[in-house]
Amino acid sequence: MDRRRASGDMRKPPFRRSPSLEDRRWGPDRRHDVYPIHSDGSRSNDDVYRGGDHRDYRRFDDDQRSPIPTGPRSLQPLPRTMSHDRSKRPLSPPPTTMHQAGPARSNPARDSELKDLAELLCDKMWWRVQCEHEKKRERKLTADRERCPPGNTETAHYSEVLQLQLEQCQRARKIFAERMTTAEDKFIAGIARLVEGYAPGMLPPSGLARSGVRDEEFDARLDNLRKALETSVKQRIQENQEIKKAAASTSTNLSTTSAGQVKLQKETDELKKSLQSEKQRNDRLEKKLQDMEQRLNRMSQQQDKLVQDTAANNLSGKNKAEDSHKMSQLMQKLEAVSVNTISRRELKIALEDFDDAVAPSLDDASPTDGPEAQSLPNGNKTRQYLHNLSSALEEIKSSLDWQNGSEPPRCIADLQAQVSSCTDLIQSTSKQSAAISASLKALEATMSTMQSARQQTGSQQTGSQQIESQQIGSQPLLHPLPQRPPSASTSTRTAHLSPTPPRHAFTAGHAVTQKDLDKQLKKLSTKLTEENRKRVKRKLLDVAKEFGGYMNTERCERVEAGKNTELALDKIESLGRSLEEFRVFVHEAIRRLDTLNGRVLATLHQQNEGLGSFSIRLQNLAGEHDRHQEEVALQLRVMNAWQSNFTTKPLYKDIVNEITRTLPNGVIKQVAMLNSRLGAVEGQLKGGDESVKRRRVQ
């Protein structure tokens, strides 16, 4: 019955199965490798965690994690009892006989070493957890730093702070890795020393039956476990390498994308600057054209006003000298302008050079340009022509404003001098005529007295005298001048002569002398009048001739000035058309630039979307990595529990039961006898030691 009961107990699994981890990680043959939950109640979890301080190494959140141990314990190596000299260990030889395979006795040195090893393992796991935490934090900081665009002034300070935090994380992770490596080396060394010192006593006797089979089973299970661990570790290493490669490719893509974005930004800035300069040049050209149009408008208005004033002066007959002076000066200026004008071919060449200067292009080069024109810089002809035209306009404007205070030209001054001399001559002639009229009045008075005296001598003589006086009174003495007719006063005064007879009588001889005097006076007055008339007529003819030639010249020059004005207007219109074409070209360039900017922005948006999706994938991979890491940590804890389960009392009990079940009855009795004898010997030895100690104490 005991044998059946023992065999039934050995067939049962010593641990309860965990369906969540059995088939998924370790397979059906690794049912023992989970947390020990004994079925018969004789064992508890406290037996598994006998050595070291009982820490809970389950994964917890970052905010609930205990702080990193700081102090002498974390910085200095822990004192280990296993580092003592082996001479201080118990000198009892390892058991070589079969009766020593019974229940394990307590060994203080071994227990202290096991506690130290458990402490080292706990330290290693603690540093590993801290290292993984720092690695996770470093990935998070790297992702935050990559989101900051390069060259942005708003996020530059935040990027520097993230860089400092990354460096701190790397230093902390390096320190944790070194401490973890140190703890691992100490743990391996302690395990090696423990195995070297206590492994022979733990081995079963070589004479027992089927002991090699159990060793082979254990070795096979250990090999399977080692292979599974190596496979899982290799998979994790490959996954980590793939993640690192993906992160490196992502960083490379981000760097290339940022470099392309910076290059596009530079090209856009250069295009904006060139467009701004072209716009400024266009504004300057428009301003110059507007100034030219205003000047031409003022010139046309002044010319129209001058024509109207000339026509009004011609109709009124006044200020002819001033008009002639103005017209002669204007014609001189127009002649100067007409001398400096250019032909249509020259204007075309100048406009082509202007187009080359504004928008240089190989397709727009004019085939009519000669080697001399091509050797000069582009735009010099147009610039020189505009300069000459502006100077000519300034000269015309200054010539039109001479009456404001400047002296008139020489020709107009000569005409004015001639007119003033004619006026002086007319005034002197009028004075002479006035003197002659005064003398004639005196003669008429004497003649009237003589006629009154003759009336007394006879009617015949009186009638003849009256006829002669009437003829003299009716005949004009001087030709009427344009300013003053002298005949009117003479006739008026003759009409008012008094018919009273003279107080003295004259003789016949005296009357003949009077007639001769009258004749001489008439001849003198006629001759003077004719001379004055011819002289004035000659002067007026000269003035009229000169004025007619001046008017003909002015008319011809006015026609030429009109032609030159039309040519200038044609040139201005062509310049306006060229400017309009340039404006259309600028608008087209702006439109193309906007289209290019839109395409660049669309490309950047697509790249940002791709980066966002890639970051999501990285986060998912990080989550899977954390989950797998938790599973590996759980497996390691299970493995540690399974390893610690090898050195417990229940294991020895199971081994003893198996040996008892498999050995024959005689051997069992013999072993029992040997065991009892060995117990008696040990009791005697203990009693002897106690008596010696008592004697020494006494």
Q: State the Cα–Cα distance between residues 483 and 262, nearest whole angstrom.
A: 94
Q: Please provide the distance, in angstroms rounded to a whole number, between the alpha carbons at the two ends of the chain.
A: 53
Write down the pLDDT at residue 564: 81
- Residue 128 near residue 65 (C-beta atoms within 8 A): no
Q: State the Cα–Cα distance between residues 564 and 392, nearest whole angstrom.
A: 12
- Residue 58 near residue 636 (C-beta atoms within 8 A): no
Task: Locate the domains of the chain by residue range.
Answer: 272-404, 412-583, 664-698
Of the candidates 497, 342, 283, 319, the residue with the CA atom closest to the CA atom of residue 416: 319
Q: State the Cα–Cα distance between residues 350 and 373, nearest whole angstrom.
A: 9
Share of the chain above pLDDT 90, in %: 4
588 Cβ neighbours under 8 A, 6+ residues apart = none
> How is 465-492 classified by DSSP, letter by letter?
HHHHHHHHHHS-SSPPPSS--SHHHHHH
Q: State the Cα–Cα distance between residues 248 and 542, nearest whole angstrom.
A: 107
Which has more confidence, 689 or 84?
A: 689
Kind and range of the H or E element at 351?
Answer: helix 344-358
Q: State the Cα–Cα distance between residues 433 and 451, nearest whole angstrom.
A: 25
> How is 230-296 classified by DSSP, letter by letter?
HHHHHHHHHHHHHHHHHHHHHHHHHHHHHHHHHHHHHHHHHHHHHHHHHHHHHHHHHHHHHHHHHHH
- Residue 349 near residue 373 (C-beta atoms within 8 A): yes
Which has more confidence, 65 or 195?
A: 195
pLDDT digits (tens, 9 = 90+) for 358-368: 443 444 444 44
Q: Tell me if the pTM is above 0.75.
A: no
- Residue 109 near residue 89 (C-beta atoms within 8 A): yes
Q: State the Cα–Cα distance between residues 218 and 212, nearest whole angstrom.
A: 10
Q: State the Cα–Cα distance between residues 67 and 64, nearest whole angstrom.
A: 9
Residue with tokens 């004697």: 695
Here the tokens at position 109 are 């040195």
Write down the pLDDT at residue 567: 84
- Residue 618 pLDDT > 80, yes or no? yes
User: What is the number of helices (H) and of strands (E) in the chain?
Assistant: 16, 0
The 8 Å CB, 24+ separation contacts for 641-646 are: 641/34, 641/35, 641/36, 641/48, 642/32, 642/33, 644/48, 644/49, 644/50, 644/51, 644/118, 645/32, 645/36, 645/48
Helix axes 649-662, 2-11, angle to 10 degrees: 130
Q: Mean per-residue pLDDT for 688-698?
A: 53
3-state secondary structure labels for all residues of 600-628? HHHHHHHHHHHHHHHHHHHHHHHHHHHHH
Write down the pLDDT at residue 152: 75
Q: State the Cα–Cα distance between residues 200 and 195, nearest whole angstrom.
A: 8
Phi, psi of 307 (to 5 degrees): -65, -45
Q: State the Cα–Cα distance between residues 122 and 119, nearest whole angstrom.
A: 5
Here the tokens at position 30 are 């690794």
Write down the pLDDT at residue 266: 79
Here the tokens at position 572 are 């201005």
Give whole-number Cα distances, 567 to 170, 347, 396, 561, 571, in Å: 82, 10, 17, 10, 6
- Residue 437 near residue 490 (C-beta atoms within 8 A): yes
Give whole-number Cα distances, 48 to 207, 604, 644, in Å: 31, 60, 6
**Mean pLDDT for the chain?**
66
pLDDT digits (tens, 9 = 90+) for 131-165: 999 999 999 988 888 888 777 777 777 888 888 88
Q: What torsion, rounded to 10 degrees, do the Cα atoms 305, 310, 311, 317 define?
A: 140
Write down the pLDDT at residue 415: 65
- Residue 564 near residue 306 (C-beta atoms within 8 A): no
Q: State the Cα–Cα distance between residues 364 and 578, nearest whole angstrom.
A: 13
- Residue 586 near residue 278 (C-beta atoms within 8 A): yes
Of the candidates 147, 196, 137, 197, the residue with the CA atom closest to the CA atom of residue 168: 137
- Residue 310 pLDDT > 70, yes or no? no
Instruction: Give, as one character, the DSSP assignment of residue 44.
Output: -
Here the tokens at position 563 are 């032609």
Here the tokens at position 658 are 């198996």
Question: How big is the chain, counted in residues?
Answer: 698
415 Cβ neighbours under 8 A, 6+ residues apart = 321, 324, 325, 543, 546, 547, 550
Between CA 559 and CA 333, with CA 310 as vertex, the angle to 5 degrees is 50
**Which range (284-288, 321-325, 361-365, 542-546) has the least confidence?**
361-365
Write down the pLDDT at residue 282: 75
- Residue 222 pLDDT > 70, yes or no? yes
pLDDT digits (tens, 9 = 90+) for 663-690: 666 666 777 788 888 888 888 887 765 5
pLDDT digits (tens, 9 = 90+) for 486-509: 443 333 333 333 333 334 444 444
Write down the pLDDT at residue 306: 72
pLDDT digits (tens, 9 = 90+) for 91-130: 444 444 433 444 445 677 778 888 888 888 888 889 999 9
pLDDT band for 454, please (50, 70, 90 cuts): low
- Residue 115 near residue 178 (C-beta atoms within 8 A): no
